[in-house]
Structure 1
């Protein structure tokens, strides 16, 4: 199988690339810096989003396109300029992938576009599934809606399209866990904000498996909640980190402090949503990690 990944050098992209290469697939990474030396003969770097670059000439016969590209939400304080970059990077990468796929004489069978559970908005009382409408009007929710609306245009090319709505991805070398666990390692961990906000988490290993499962399960299309089936509230998340690391959970982090430090970006930590992976459960996907403590013991 020939798989094209945009954002293949990021946190999730690296894990996916490693998995697909292990499965003996060919992987093509769309990148602005295509001069990198591939460590595997089945791995190719293809220049894109540069003047005169024509990636479609290098990815003919691709079976799957996966789009993970976009400016990180955690890349800095959300100034107007930063928010514009976050939105435009996602829209422009999606539009370019649509252009590439449209230019191919033989269309891929699947397009997977990264998305986020931020689509639903925030709530401490509601539970969201793929069937839930968006009740969010905040920056994250509006960004996701614009991103998904663009991605769904792939269906006009008769390409099966999956919108992977990622929860909080837990991994050893990236994502939210290293920075969250650090205070506990320094004996200074505690409840962040009210502690009532929900965290819909997922282990990186399941993220990779779920995307692979979507590739091989033709019935899956549209939005897919990539979250473990047992979300927790932030206070439980902190207590579980403390338990796994054998550290105290005692020093609270007040909401106003984070808001002063991070501005609007603090909503990523101070607000959340309880999201369930109903579609994956219906399609009989078997999670490797369903219990937070098990996931953290593997990672920490």
Structure 2
């Protein structure tokens, strides 16, 4: 199978490359630094800087994960423009290139996030649930999905993966939290009541592979474990995994003062459930947060 990945040098993309290389797939990664792709993703992975550099080689699937990290810095007007361009503008460029190809892939799997729903409060959210707020993160995800779905008009099956918070030992939001928690200074965010939809990296990779192969899979899928937890429970679980106290809260007013609009991403939450994945027969390896964190934070990582 020939697969083109955007965002292939990121946390999820690198793990996908490791899995698919082991299965003998032909992989190409679009990157701003194509010369670094082989060292990051695998020696046999080809790096390209523009879509047209792919050439006329066969193409079976596109996995579109590119996007600037959404929570790395406050959402200034400039930062919002960067976030928009890295997702929506790049996806528009992808569709324009695909439209011009004689041979088209059978499937486009495009990234999204549970932020699509906005702050869901106590509501249980499945893929049938509407978006409940119009904050920037929700607007970004909605536009990203709507752009990707235009590939259906080209005869390409489109799958949308709404990912929760990914647990991994070598990147993502957990890596940013660990320093404080290791010092015993971690704790819940705001009230601690907001829901956190989480997923182990292993399950994220497995479900992407599952949806790519399943010919009847299309539309949105919530990529999160079937047992979301509240912020205070997540903090307690992480503290147990590290054998550290975890009772130092991050007050809402301080987060709003420091982060501005971005604070809403941390103070809100989604009680998201992977209803469509489970209905399709996907089995999660990690459904218990303590077990998942114990696996991610093995002794060599603590």
Structure 2 residue ranges without an equivalent (≥5): 298-302
Distance 1:38 1:247 in 2: 38
State the match for 1:54 in structure 2: 52
SS state of the match for residue 238, structure 1? helix
Instruction: Decide which of 172, 178, 182 is 1:181's aligned counterpart.
Output: 178
Please identify, of 277-286 and 128-137, the stretch whose mean Cα deviation from structure 2 is larger.
128-137
Matches within 5 A, 1:267-286: 267-286=264-283
Instruction: Decide which of 133, 136, 139 is 2:133's aligned counterpart.
Output: 136
Distance 1:38 1:79 in 2: 34
Distance 2:147 2:287 in 1: 32
Distance 1:209 1:37 in 2: 22
Q: How many residues get paired?
A: 295
Q: Is the 8 A contact 1:55 1:100 kept in 2?
A: no
> What TM-score comes out, normalization by structure 2 length?
0.94
Offset, 1:76: 1.7
Q: Is the 8 A contact 1:56 1:104 kept in 2?
A: no
Distance 1:55 1:96 in 2: 13
Distance 2:13 2:90 in 1: 15
SS state of the match for residue 155, structure 1? helix
Deviations 1:238-293 (CA, angstroms, capped at 9, x unpaired): 01111111111222221111111212111221111100000100011010111111
SS state of the match for residue 35, structure 1? helix
Structure 1 residue ranges without an equivalent (≥5): none
Where in structure 1 do 4 or more consecutive aligned residues deviate above 4 Å? none
Deviations 1:9-58 (CA, angstroms, capped at 9, x unpaired): 1111111111111111111001222233735563111121xxxx723415
**Match status 1:195 vs 2:192:** yes
Q: Is the 8 A contact 2:38 2:47 kept in 1?
A: yes
Matches within 5 A, 1:93-108: 93-108=90-105
Please identify, of 177-186 and 127-136, the stretch whose mean Cα deviation from structure 2 is larger.
177-186
SS state of the match for residue 176, structure 1? helix
Deviations 1:208-262 (CA, angstroms, capped at 9, x unpaired): 1010001111121100110000000000000111111111122222111111121
Instruction: Decide which of 90, 104, 107 is 1:110's aligned counterpart.
Output: 107
> What TM-score comes out, normalization by structure 1 length?
0.94
Offset, 1:182: 2.4
Q: Is the 8 A contact 1:56 1:100 kept in 2?
A: no
State the match for 2:45 in structure 1: 43
Offset, 1:175: 1.0
Q: Is the 8 A contact 2:159 2:217 kept in 1?
A: yes
State the match for 1:3 in structure 2: 3
**Match status 1:216 vs 2:218:** no
SS state of the match for residue 54, structure 1? helix
Q: Is the 8 A contact 2:203 2:286 kept in 1?
A: yes
State the match for 1:153 in structure 2: 150
Q: Is the 8 A contact 2:161 2:220 kept in 1?
A: yes
Please identify, of 139-148 and 95-104, the stretch whose mean Cα deviation from structure 2 is larger.
95-104
